[in-house]
Amino acid sequence: MSYSNYYGLNQSDFEFLRTDELEAVLSHDFGRDLNVRDTFHAGRNYRNSIISAPRFISNASTDINREFQSRDEVDTVLTDEIDLTWRVMTFGLKHIVIAGFEYTRQGFENYLRATPVTPLANLYNPNPNDPFVGRDGRTGARNYGATDTYAVYLFDTIEIGRHWQVSDGARYDYFSQQHNLQPVTGATTTIGRLDRPVSWRGALLYKPVEIGSIYFGAGSSSNPSGEDITLTTATGKLEPEHTTAYEFGTKWDLLDRRLSLDAALFYTLKDNARTPGATPTDPVTVLEGEQQARGLDIEFKGKLTQNWEVIGGYTYTQSKIIDSNTPAKVGSKLPGVADNTFTLWMTYGPPRGFEVGFGAQYIGERYANPINTRLADAFYTFDAMVAWHVNKHLTLRVNVYNFTDEQYIGALHIQGSYGHFFPGPRRSAILTASLLF
């Protein structure tokens, strides 16, 4: 299979995108110990596209189904977050209190097109000029809706003497969603859902010496069934998924504090993962699955010499589907999760204003489906950079990404057993000029 193969259709496929965004940040210090910050963001995205998404028709075939994907959609987002940071002493203990309120509204409106019958493609020799029979205009039907999220949170970090630190806190979300299905004729169907998840976080840190610390932390999070801003009749009845994460690690400043080294063991458990109903009388999707991920994470950052800076990390992950109502998934690795990943970026700034950089990334093998029958190969990519600091105001920089022009699987689309992938970006270069005044 060639990475240059095109599985779309010249007679139908296109994409137009337009995004408008506005962001404003207002911050005020009430003395050294109290700060209030307000962050406002508004955005609007218009997408008009028809894409033939490639899907294997089965595990035993090289035929590709060109799945008709249409978007004639406007998405909007409005969010405002106010947070307060307060440093205060109580009973001889130093507190750093962070409290806040957040409001977000996300809306969408998608006009539907008729779904034509698209021709199959061959994995090895697709023909983008295959005939396309069907209309691509609006049918008159549309889907529209909105999600409103109100959240309040409170976190406190307490310093106990010179060696101990305790952190705790919680967040409450009011997650209200409405999804409307308006057909060409007939009544509009409205699917709504309201969730009120509470998440928490806590940590205990011990500093045996000034340059090192050991810590243990835990926290929880929730995934509402409408997290992608859409609801179906099945997902509209589902409670949120719950995930609990634990981490035990240590942090050290080495080489006279020129190098920071972090290492941590982590364990994450989702104890009510979505899975198909076990019997014909069950709902289409139920919360009876269980998934876990555990491993080791190492990160480093610092200046090895006056001119040589380095940042990078390595992560080893063991993932597993512990329980599912689909027997073929039980014991499988989570799709899209690599056992091993590694990143590295180094810069060296010699005299006369020049700076050079080198980076490397490694992603190990990943399964493309939850029954582990399709495997994405591991890959390396390498980047480079040259910068010239002409003076204190002007810097010219050239970045070359994937300079070895590696062909690799960049992102996986996980869908059942027959998903597709997106090739990673080929070699590219960007020239930038930065002007400070």
Scanning the structure block, which residue is given the tokens 């493309």? Answer: 368
Q: What is the signed CA dihedral for 425, 318, 302, 160, rounded to 10 degrees? A: 140
Cα–Cα–Cα angle for 398, 399, 405, rounded to 5 degrees? 130
The structural domain count of the chain equals 1
pLDDT at 416: 55
Question: Does residue 1 belong to any structural domain of this protein?
Answer: no
Scanning the structure block, which residue is given the tokens 């689309």? Answer: 413
64, two tokens:
């590709």
Question: Does residue 112 belong to any structural domain of this protein?
Answer: yes
Q: What CATH number has the domain bearing residue 335?
A: 2.40.170.20
Task: Output phi, psi for 235, to 5 deg.
Answer: -70, -25
pLDDT at 415: 61
38, two tokens:
């307000």
Check if the beta carbon of residue 299 is closer than 8 Å to that of residue 278.
no
- Other C-beta atoms within 10 Å of 284: how many? 12
Question: Does residue 7 belong to any structural domain of this protein?
Answer: no
Question: Does residue 145 belong to any structural domain of this protein?
Answer: yes
SS3 172: strand
Question: Does residue 3 belong to any structural domain of this protein?
Answer: no
Q: What is the pLDDT of residues 399-417, one digit of tens each?
A: 999 999 999 998 887 765 5
Question: Would the pTM count as exceeding 0.85?
Answer: yes
Question: Does residue 278 belong to any structural domain of this protein?
Answer: yes
Write out the residue range of the structural domain in which residue 29 sits: 14-435
Question: Does residue 276 belong to any structural domain of this protein?
Answer: yes
Check if the beta carbon of residue 305 is closer than 8 Å to that of residue 282.
no
Question: Does residue 9 belong to any structural domain of this protein?
Answer: no
Task: Name residues of the chain where pLDDT drops below 70.
Answer: 1, 134-136, 415-419
